[in-house]
Every structure is written in C-alpha cells, then in structure tokens.
Chain A
Amino acid sequence: MRSRPSPWRARYQQRFAAPQTVVVQPTTWCNLDCRYCYLPFRKLKNQMPLEVAEALAQAVAQFDDSGHPIGIVWHGGEPLAVGQQKFASLLAPFEALRRAGRVHHYVQTNATMITGTCCDLLAAYDIRVGVSVDGPAALNAERVDLRGKPAFDRILRGISQLREHGIPFSVISVVGTLGIAMPEQLLEFLTSLGGHSVGFNIEEIEGANTDRQPPTAVQAEEFWRRTLTWTREHPGAPAVREVERLAEYLQLIRSGQRAEWDGRRLDPIPTISWKGDVVLLSPEFADTTAPEYSDFVAGNILDRPLSEILRDAHRLRYVRDFLTGLDRCQTECEFFDFCRGAQAANRYFENGDLTTTETNYCRVSRQALVTALSTLATKEAVA
C-alpha cells in the first residue's frame, strides 16, 4: 500500500516554487554600524570558507534549468569587506555556471569599499550592484562607521567609481522617521545618483533592530501619496520599485491577465550563512536565536545537498506556521491580492508568531501604498 502524500507538502508546493534567488553571506562583518541594522553579528569577522562556496555551486548546478538564471545575491555583512582576492575565490566555483547563463551574480553593498580595481572585479564577473544609501547627508545620518562617523562621503565616492567604470546599479534607501516626511528631497537626491531604480525600505523592527520607533501607517500613506505624485511629475526619472510593483499588478489585472498574476508562487529564498547553514523564507532569520524553531536552520550544505533541504522544507515547523499565516492573510486581508502575504521575518520579529497576519511592514510598505493611490484617485473622481 502506498503512503499518502503529505498534506503539508501539497500546501507548500501550492505556495512556493523552486528558488530563483539564493542569498549568500560571505561574511558576517560590516565596516559600518548603521543604527537601524538588523544583523546581530555584524561586528564578528566570520568569513565563508571556500568549501561552502564550492558546495553551493555544486548544489545550484543540480537545480532544474528553468530557463532563468538563478540570482546569487552576495549580501552580508558587507560582502565586499572580504577583500577582492577572497571574493574572487568565492565566485570562482560558479564561473562555469555563469558562463553557461545558469547564474547571475548580485551584490548589495554600502559602496564605501568600492575602488577602481573593485569595479574591474564587478565587471569581470558581470555582477549586478545594489547600493544602500538613504538620502542626502542629513537624511543619511544613521549610516555611520564603527567609530560613529558619517559614511556619506565614502558612499558617494564609491558611487562615483561605479559611474566612472560604467557599472549600472540600483539604490535602496531605508526610510526612518525623518525621511518619511521628506519624500521629495529623498527622490530628488536618490534619482540623481545615476542608478536605474530606487527602492524604499521603510524602517522595520527586526533582528537586532528592536528599540527604535518605526514610521506609522499615517506617515507612510502621506509618503507614498507624495511619492506617487512626484513620479507622475517626473516621467523620465529612474523607477521607484514599489510604484512599479503596484503598476504591474494593476496592469495585469486590468488587461485580463489575472491568471498570470494568480499563478505566481513565492520564492523560498534559501540563504546560505558563512558556515553553510541554510535558512528559508527570510534572510533576516540567519543568525537569529529561536529555540522553538531550531534557530530557523533547515540544514547545512556541507552535510546535506541543498536540493534535499529544499525538498523537505514543508517538514519544518516554522515553514508550516508561515503557511498557516499565509492562509489566514488570504482569508482575512483585503490587500492580499496585491501583497501576497506578510513577510515571514516581520511576522516573527513584530508579532513573535509566524501564524499571525498583519504587521507594521504590511501597513507601511504595502497597504499605505495602495491607500495612497486610492486617495489620489478619489480626489480626482470628485473633482
């Protein structure tokens, strides 16, 4: 008699696809000490051994070829802090895959360590760059080094290097209680840097960042309303990621492509720590102490193939709790169709429970964006 398939496996496969993104932590260390940072071990100089990169490259080579290159996202810590020689050695095991079009490298960096020779490395491996910069100097004041000194000038020097070497980049800005009231100043500055797009991460309570007061939903709605207005008035400016997301959703729904939207599944986003531990769902779970969930560690790629770890993801208690939370979001929240469910890390760090639904992240990053557009549309309809 054949055993029945696990209902949890079916539920997992209904929500999740095979990963298109793998986040990699080449080091825990960062040369900055941003006041809102969520990384608990950013002052420890742990570095990924070459054998972990080799094991990961072997694992990715065994993924089914979906026709889309897998995004290998070198994150951190500050990924460039490992030094160019070490970084090149970690990239080397992926080189055959990259040349075959099976992977594409990305790096999210604070830009302070970008030099001319670093740009040569980025170009040689065709690495797509994301720069973390919050805004003009006064709105970038939370980004400081280990001595508390502003990093702003060093960030701009790094961006200048990227531009001089013709390396395209995107920008991510963390928006705190100061910036939330000044979207136009942020947009004017960030879109002038030469990047092709800007993403706004409204400050979140997660990981090691637990004591600060994040912006409120009321502040966020005004922020997005003014951002939508600004982007409308500047049609040639670099795209704002969140506005693009909403535009794409509405464009698909209104053009009869609902099935295409509904058919999209979530990426489990396997994150590989410096020592080969694998966490799923949210990279912010890496290095988190959570005894009830075995610290979110799904396995280690030095002990077990990544494909096996992913195959058994539905067995993990935290994945099951997240699936329960997603079902509740879909049933209870009128924004679910656009949002697709609150992020796992925000549920855990804000609510302490992955089966819960709404988070402040939902309210300020997804719901406030939708209500901002609705408010603008209502005003026009009445006028």
Chain B
Amino acid sequence: MKILDRLATSDTPVVMELIATH
C-alpha cells in the first residue's frame, strides 16, 4: 500500500488529531 493511502486510512491518534484540527 502506498504511503499516502496508508495515511488516508490510518486511525492512529496522530493522524486523527491532525485532521480534527483542520
């Protein structure tokens, strides 16, 4: 899986918090 696809489906706190602030 490509790196951007992994981030687009990641439910880790660091990713979820980043999106939530935007």
Contacts and interface: CB of A to CB of B under 8 A. Distances in A.
Interface residues of A, number: 24
A373 to B, nearest CB: 6
Query: How large, as a class, is the contact surface on chain B?
Result: 10 to 19
Interface in A314-358: 334-335, 337-338
B2 to A, nearest CB: 5
A287 to B, nearest CB: 36
Nearest to B6: A374
Contacts, number: 57
Contacts of A338: 4
A243 interface: yes
Interface in A356-373: 370-371, 373
A373 B8 CA distance: 11
B12 A381 contact: yes
Nearest to A244: B22
Contacts of A371: 3
Given A377-B12, A380-B12, A243 B4 contact: no
Interface in A209-228: 228
B18 A380 contact: no
Most chain B CB atoms below 10 A, which of A243, A376, A377? A377
Contact of A337 (B4, B9, B10, B22): B4
Contact of A376 (B8, B9, B14): B14
10 closest A-B pairs (Cβ-Cβ)?
A247-B22, A380-B12, A377-B12, A376-B14, A253-B8, A251-B19, A334-B2, A377-B10, A251-B22, A247-B18
Interface of B: 2-4, 6-10, 12-15, 17-19, 21-22
26 contacts: A228-B18, A232-B14, A243-B18, A244-B22, A246-B18, A247-B21, A250-B7, A253-B4, A253-B8, A254-B9, A334-B3, A334-B4, A335-B4, A338-B4, A370-B4, A371-B3, A373-B14, A374-B3, A374-B6, A374-B7, A376-B12, A376-B14, A377-B7, A377-B14, A377-B15, A381-B12
Interface of A: 228, 232, 235, 243-244, 246-248, 250-251, 253-254, 334-335, 337-338, 370-371, 373-374, 376-377, 380-381
